[in-house]
Chain A
Amino acid sequence: MKYNKENYHEVLKLYSKQDWLIKKEKELEELIVFCENKEEKILIFSLLERFHYLQNERLSLLLNKIADFIISSSGFDVDTTQILSITYDDEADSSQKVLDMIKVPLFQKGWKKLKTVNHYRSSIKNHKNGRNQIILIDEFIGTGKTIRNRIKQLRNDINGYFELKCCFLAGIKSAIDNLQNEGIEIFCPLQLKKGISEFYCNEVLTKTTNEMLSLESKLASKINEKELIDYSFGYGHAEALYSLEGCCGNTPNSVFPIFWWLHDNNEQCRNTLLTRFEIGF
């Protein structure tokens, strides 16, 4: 790519805030070229500057915060607690990943007899065995739709009393607030504002919204059975600016698809900044 003065300066500035992008220079260049005008480029640079790309050190910090909450603030006891991933089908998912990652800090901090449950259905059996304090765990909360469904199922399937709390590594603050207002107790150490609608306001918001719509119009409207419209601005319009580094994570569908949607509107493959494993792609 041939840089002009402005782009070169912006990219250099971006690297000083987001050093993970250095290893993705070609992908970043492709994204800059994908932008047709200066305004679209400014929007992309702004979103990337505010992006939360969790590398190992920060991930470890957040896991330790969750572990501290579970042990010291949840009021739950190790002998009666089960920590449950929200996995419902037989596909591997990020809640199982976080469940596996949280067991080490919990063990280190003294919960040696910890009970982890890597499939939703097994929670019923564990409840019968006296584990009636349930912590639902997942990586990211975008809209709250999945967790609402899981809690509803749990209340339906478990006969008897149980206490419930939810833990997430990160999530959209407005979604968390809504759930808390519904009486669901949530601990989430990294709470994010929506990338566009909670950052810009008035006429700038209208302008940037149109710019993102214009960028999305250059993406393929459908990949196999997946419709872009369902993921416009991130699933449920979550507008998330978050991902775990490399192999640690699968970019949530709550993230703006401009960063992970695989094809452009000419059905050409894109070399995307982020990777999302999506069934049906």
Chain B
Amino acid sequence: MKNFEKRILHDLYESVEGLYAFTLYSRYKVEPSELFIFIEKYSNKGLLHFESDKLELTNEGKKTMFKQLRKIKSSSGKYSNIPNEFIGDKIEIDSPYIPNITKLSKEILNLQNKGDG
């Protein structure tokens, strides 16, 4: 999937009543031929509906996008979805910091042990 396709699908998912073709050209400078091929591709898959110059995701398209976005979120690494209540105060970059050895993860301790050797 091309980058502009990802961006358009995301924008369509976020939109309430779809988006006009020209809006997408204004945002991403997508040539008419590229947009036409995009419309053909995703209409044929049943994910997109194009009428009166307006693009809109079908229910199937919305479900697919929802699954895609959830997948992206949950696969972004174990530190990316930390609930707010577990996030402490941030310190400035390069400010002095002494780690509490009791709170360091085993991975980091293992690394340090290897370094010591």
- Give me the interface of A with B, judged by CB distance under 8 Å: 3, 5, 8-9, 11-13, 15-16, 22, 25
Partner of A15, one of B22, B25, B33, B53: B33
Most chain B beta carbons < 10 A, residue from A5, A12, A15: A12
Looking at chain A's contact residues, is the secondary structure mostly helix, strand, loop, or mixed? helix
Chain B nearest CB, measured from A5 CB (Å): 4
**Nearest A-chain residue to B31, judged by Cβ:** A25
Assess the A9–B21 pair: CB atoms within 8 A: yes
Assess the A8–B32 pair: CB atoms within 8 A: yes
**Chain A neighbourhood of B37, CB < 8 A:** 22
Assess the A9–B53 pair: CB atoms within 8 A: yes
- Give me the interface of B with A, judged by CB distance under 8 Å: 21-22, 25, 31-33, 35-37, 53
In whole angstroms, what is the CA distance A15 to B34 when docked? 11
**Chain B neighbourhood of A11, CB < 8 A:** 32
Most chain A beta carbons < 10 A, residue from B25, B36, B37, B53: B36
In whole angstroms, what is the CA distance A11 to B35 when docked? 11
In whole angstroms, what is the CA distance A16 to B53 when docked? 12
**Chain B neighbourhood of A8, CB < 8 A:** 21-22, 25, 32
**Chain A neighbourhood of B53, CB < 8 A:** 9, 12-13
In whole angstroms, what is the CA distance A265 to B36 when docked? 34
**Chain A neighbourhood of B35, CB < 8 A:** 12
In whole angstroms, what is the CA distance A12 to B37 when docked? 10
Chain A nearest CB, measured from B41 CB (Å): 13
In whole angstroms, what is the CA distance A11 to B33 when docked? 8
Chain B nearest CB, measured from A19 CB (Å): 8
Given the known inter-chain contacts A9-B53, A12-B53, please indicate yes or no for A25 contacting B22, CB distance below 8 A: no
> What are 19 A-B interface contacts by the 8 Å CB criterion?
A3-B25, A3-B32, A8-B21, A8-B22, A8-B25, A9-B22, A9-B53, A12-B21, A12-B35, A12-B36, A12-B53, A15-B32, A15-B33, A15-B36, A22-B33, A22-B36, A22-B37, A25-B31, A25-B33
**Chain A neighbourhood of B33, CB < 8 A:** 15, 22, 25
**Chain A neighbourhood of B22, CB < 8 A:** 3, 5, 8-9
Closest 10 CB pairs of A and B: A11-B32, A15-B36, A5-B22, A22-B33, A25-B33, A8-B22, A12-B32, A9-B53, A8-B25, A12-B21
**Chain A neighbourhood of B25, CB < 8 A:** 3, 8
Chain B nearest CB, measured from A85 CB (Å): 38
New contact pairs (17) apart from A8-B21, A11-B32, A12-B32, CB-CB < 8 Å: A3-B22, A5-B22, A8-B32, A9-B21, A9-B53, A12-B35, A12-B36, A12-B53, A13-B53, A15-B32, A16-B36, A22-B33, A22-B36, A22-B37, A25-B31, A25-B32, A25-B33
